[in-house]
Amino acid sequence: MTRSIVRLLIVLLASVMAAPTAWGAYHHGGDTDSDVAATVYPGTQDTKLDSCALCHSGGEYEKKPGKWVSLGSCQWCHYEFGYDGSGDIDATLNDYGRDYLNNGRNAAALSAIKGVDSDGDGYSNADEIAAIRFPGDPGDDPSKVPAPHRVYARDDLECLPQHVQFMLMNTHKSGDFYAQYGGVVMADLLEDAGILAAAESIEVFAPDGWSQYHPLDPDEDGLFYYVYGAYPEALFHYDQEADVDMNTEEGWCDYSAASCAGRNHGDEIVVENGLQMLLAITREGDYLSDGELNAENKLDGEGPFRVVPPQLLPGPPDQSSYLDGPDYKWPFDEAEEYTGHNAGFATRSATIIKVNPLPEGTTDIDTAEAGWNYVDEKKIVIYGAIDPLPTIENRIESLFLKVKALDKKLFKSRFHRRAMLWKIYLVDRLIDWQAFRPATRILEKSLIKRVDGCTKSDAPDRNDWITDCRAQKQVYWTINEILVLMKMLP
């Protein structure tokens, strides 16, 4: 049982506490539309809807033939609209944003399109917003719930077993380097998050929209950087021709790290427990520098966390693809026949790890929008095919706080308010005792049926305990979310 619910139940008549949230609002400079949305839908503040993504979509562009880059709504706006405002901002709107614009782009416009199904997923805009779902994204509707998730702060990660490894970061073109990274082995982190037996792979996201796929186990063809198991042993490779400090004009490898001291060409790189895919926290003993977008809209820095896989094919630091001299000791190995370019698979400023496949009935969390807050707060979220119990406990606490915060006048009587809070408390106790079936029965038989009238006919029915439709729908969708997650429990 969560202690906060016990305290809140005891002080039921005390002042309302603010509910915790995993989302922080992102308002672009000069933005006024978010304030308009908050006026019409006050329940969206400090949720994922309190952002540009409510009306703007992401997109993708072809960086080179056959190579597409996906961008979240913020970066897509910068790409399409430009930092100088010379592009077409309307081209970045999703269907909901377009309806909002076409109806006047004001509070009246949002009210006018409440009953419209902008994204064509079978749910009205008002119902989707009440459930904290994007009304402009057909893949995000109230029938699905955000997948189970856990948020780790840097302090949390440092409490897990730590792993340190010296390794080569071999790039295609930006300069190779040797370094000693420290952090948490990815397999250990996923185990701590409660990865499910059905999980098959992960995707790692950076806040600029970059993402990278990794299977859990090594694939037969050896093409992908994997999560489970040690990587091949490696040797230290040094040549003066490659050393940027010794060959400043055409050198391509940085050997300046303190961890390089005392190593000679051909020495075996010895790492306790072997080279592993690592969620790095430190480099050379110092915290990784936070990532940020530079003036060219590119990511600088690599922290606070970076996913660091060792080389699949251990080899020397080959020269940059920009350098084409035929007589180099280690010419660029485009086909990766003798050395692997692992740095291209090492996601910088990793903020989100998605564990695939998503459980039935769930949908993605807001992967493209949450990242920059996590960079600032030194956090990373893991979601998807992981243990749902921590998320369920969080949502039950949120439900308790949500019901407690409602004005008493929105209930049929004070008795109904107290009864609802008591039943939520009882569900929490049963889950704490791992009595999942009785908890589910209370949710299905005694709670959700008391708040379902407005979802059926846009009006309360005689069995409803909450008489205000807006408040009732918020409670209904939270209970529905808990029930979907409960189905994942044994």
Cβ-count burial 60-97 (b if 16+ within 10 Å, e if not): eeeeeeeeebebbbbbbbbbbbeeeeeeeeeebbbbbb
- How far the first Cα of the chain sits from its last, in Å, is 18
At 174 the pLDDT is 78
Average pLDDT over residues 176-194: 98
Spatial separation of the C-alpha atoms in residues 346 and 342, rounded to whole Å: 7
Spatial separation of the C-alpha atoms in residues 157 and 210, rounded to whole Å: 23
At 352 the pLDDT is 92
Q: Using 50, 70 and 90 to split pLDDT, how confident is the model at 74?
A: low
How much is the pTM?
A: 0.77
At 282 the pLDDT is 98
CA trace torsion 409, 414, 419, 422 (10° rounding):
90
Domain ranges for the chain: 3-16+388-486, 33-145, 155-384
The string of pLDDT tens digits covering residues 307-348 is 999 999 999 999 888 766 666 789 888 888 899 999 999 999
Q: What percent of the chain has pLDDT over 90?
A: 62
CA atoms within 13 A on the CB side of 310: 26
Q: Please state whether the peptide bond connecting residue 232 to the residue before it is cis, i.e. omega within 30 degrees of 0.
A: no
The string of pLDDT tens digits covering residues 265-295 is 999 999 999 999 999 999 999 999 999 878 7
At 3 the pLDDT is 47
Q: Which residue has the higher pLDDT, 220 or 127?
A: 127
At 11 the pLDDT is 40
Other beta carbons within 10 Å of 219: 10
Question: Could you please report the per-residue DSSP string of 61-78?
Answer: EEEETTEEEEE-HHHHHH
Average pLDDT over residues 361-384: 82
C-beta of residue 384 within 8 angstroms of C-beta of residue 356 = yes
User: Please, which residues bridge with residue 201 across strands?
Assistant: 215, 356
C-beta of residue 235 within 8 angstroms of C-beta of residue 266 = yes
The string of pLDDT tens digits covering residues 17-53 is 323 333 334 455 456 788 888 889 988 876 778 777 7
Lookup result for tokens 């094919």: 313
CA angle centred on 468, ends 425 and 35, rounded to 5°: 100
The string of pLDDT tens digits covering residues 399-409 is 999 999 999 99
Q: Which tokens belong to 395?
A: 């949502």
What letter represents residue 17's amino acid? M
SS3 454: helix
Closest CA to 239 of 162, 179, 316: 316
**Element housing 213 (H / E):** strand 211-215
- Exposed/middle/buried for 239, CB within 10 Å: 0-12, 13-18, 19+? middle
C-beta of residue 100 within 8 angstroms of C-beta of residue 30 = no
Question: Could you please report the per-residue DSSP string of 168-180?
Answer: EE--SSS-EEEEE
* 98 DSSP 8-state letter: H
The string of pLDDT tens digits covering residues 202-244 is 989 888 767 788 999 998 777 889 999 999 999 999 999 899 9
Closest CA to 112 of 126, 127, 122, 130: 126
CA atoms within 13 A on the CB side of 181: 28
**Element housing 354 (H / E):** strand 352-356
Closest CA to 200 of 357, 381, 361: 357
Spatial separation of the C-alpha atoms in residues 55 and 36, rounded to whole Å: 12
At 16 the pLDDT is 29
Residues 6+ positions from 14 with CB-CB distance below 8 Å: none
C-beta of residue 187 within 8 angstroms of C-beta of residue 230 = no
Q: What is the CA radius of gyration of the chain?
A: 26
SS3 190: helix
Strands 292-293 and 299-300: antiparallel
